[in-house]
């Protein structure tokens, strides 16, 4: 079936993996990649598909309502996968207004533009979908009921049942929202607008909330690529507090597969949580990264341990995030394809093998190139 799919934020980390998957898997679809190309957007992430006949890139700001109206109408968009967002918590603490503009007003502009265009069509909302990708951070934080009860990591192959045996809880699709940072508050607000457009106007919408992603093409302000690069250069590894905060990690290609499955088979107006049952304390994850990078660089074991540097904890730092994705597994048959040991090895190798990509990112050369290329547009 011919479809015209708009993927926002498609030059970013997760978005580029989703764009690549859809362009390669669905040659009959026209994939329109919309990205503002802020610091986190990089078209080098998509070099392998940039000339594909079913792919179009558009540089635009999702908060520009008139531009969203034009793009959605011009390309006859019938499906939207909305990933574009400001996503770094530290940046949101310093500049919450940018997060509100992009994540809240940008989502609202997309919703309104889609509604207006689809309202003009004879078939109306039939066959249309606005799929909004959100985060587990909207749920707030979970406590470690027995922080010493489950070995670190909380078993890389853990099931929800294993955790619950220790009294640990998970975020489910019905968990009450309780955001603690400007970033998570902005994402929570955008989630509410998406659901409100369904409840008020009948717009076909769908929301997913995912745990931390890792893998190739992630902007190196995030923990895993930052630490890989710092180890490579012998720079300090800044660890917030005591490094005891716990996160659930999912390989980015598994997230892209989930998005594909949910876009095509998910229930309209529903919510799905996506996670890996793969929890690690930050400090334990960092030690795995150190061992892996040192081994692949040929350094002796323990060579980079001294780079760990404990720094003042982040403001409002949530202790634990953990996603229960059993609904997605039961209803649509999705589950992660990689165990963490395999995924982190693959990830570290990719960054070490793509040092030129990393160097261009950290130098900022790519931003200056795009600013010149798209000057006046």
- Give me the active site residues, please: 136-137, 183
CB 218, CB 225: distance < 8 Å? yes
Q: How far apart are CA 65 and CA 300, in angstroms?
A: 55
Q: How far apart are CA 293 and CA 301, in angstroms?
A: 10
Encoded tokens for 307? 């780079």
DSSP string, 224-283: HHHHHHHHHHT--EEEETTS--EEEEEEHHHHHHHHHHHHHHSPTT-EEEE--S-EEEHH
Q: How far apart are CA 271 and CA 261, in angstroms?
A: 13
Q: For the chain, how big is the Rg over CA atoms in Å?
A: 20
Encoded tokens for 301? 């074991």
H helices of the chain, where?
13-25, 65-74, 89-94, 96-99, 106-119, 160-164, 182-201, 223-233, 252-265, 282-297, 326-332, 340-353, 355-363, 365-373
Cα 125 to its chain centre, rounded Å, is: 27
Helix axes 340-353, 223-233, angle to 10 degrees: 50
Contacts of 50 (CB under 8 A, 6+ apart): 43, 57
Instruction: Give me the residue label for tokens 């030690």.
Output: 287
């Amino acid at each position: 079936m011919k479809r015209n799919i708009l993927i926002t934020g498609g030059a970013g980390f997760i978005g580029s993996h989703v764009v690549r998957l859809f362009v390669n898997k669905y040659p009959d679809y026209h994939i329109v990649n919309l990205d503002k190309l802020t610091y986190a957007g990089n078209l080098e992430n998509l070099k392998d598909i940039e000339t594909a006949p079913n792919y179009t890139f558009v540089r635009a700001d999702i908060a520009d309502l008139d531009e969203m109206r034009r793009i959605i109408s011009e390309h006859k968009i019938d499906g939207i996968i909305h990933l574009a967002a400001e996503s770094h918590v530290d940046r949101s603490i310093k500049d919450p207004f940018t997060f509100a503009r992009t994540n809240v007003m940008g989502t609202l502009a997309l919703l309104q533009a889609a509604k207006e265009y689809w309202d003009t069509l004879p078939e109306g909302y039939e066959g249309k979908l606005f799929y909004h990708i959100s985060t587990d951070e909207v749920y707030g934080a979970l406590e470690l009921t027995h922080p010493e009860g489950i070995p670190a990591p909380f078993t890389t192959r853990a099931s929800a049942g294993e955790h619950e045996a220790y009294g640990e809880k998970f975020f489910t699709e019905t968990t009450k929202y309780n955001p603690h940072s400007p970033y998570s508050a902005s994402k929570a607000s955008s989630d509410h607008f998406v659901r409100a457009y369904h409840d008020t106007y009948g717009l076909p919408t769908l929301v997913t909330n995912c745990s931390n992603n890792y893998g190739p093409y992630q902007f190196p302000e995030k923990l895993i690529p930052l630490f890989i690069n710092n180890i490579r250069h012998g720079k300090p590894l800044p660890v917030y507090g005591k490094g005891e905060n716990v996160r659930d990690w999912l390989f980015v290609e598994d997230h892209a597969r989930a998005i594909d499955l949910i876009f095509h088979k998910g229930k309209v107006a529903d919510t799905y949580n996506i996670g890996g049952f793969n929890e690690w304390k930050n400090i334990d994850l960092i030690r795995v990264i150190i061992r892996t990078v040192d081994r692949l660089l040929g350094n002796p074991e323990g060579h980079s341990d001294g780079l760990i540097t404990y720094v003042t904890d982040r403001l409002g730092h949530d202790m634990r995030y953990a996603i229960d994705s059993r609904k997605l597994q039961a209803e649509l048959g999705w589950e992660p394809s990689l165990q963490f040991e395999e995924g982190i090895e693959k990830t570290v190798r990719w960054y070490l093998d793509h040092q030129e990509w990393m160097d261009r990112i950290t130098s900022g050369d790519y931003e200056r190139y795009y600013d010149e290329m798209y000057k006046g547009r």
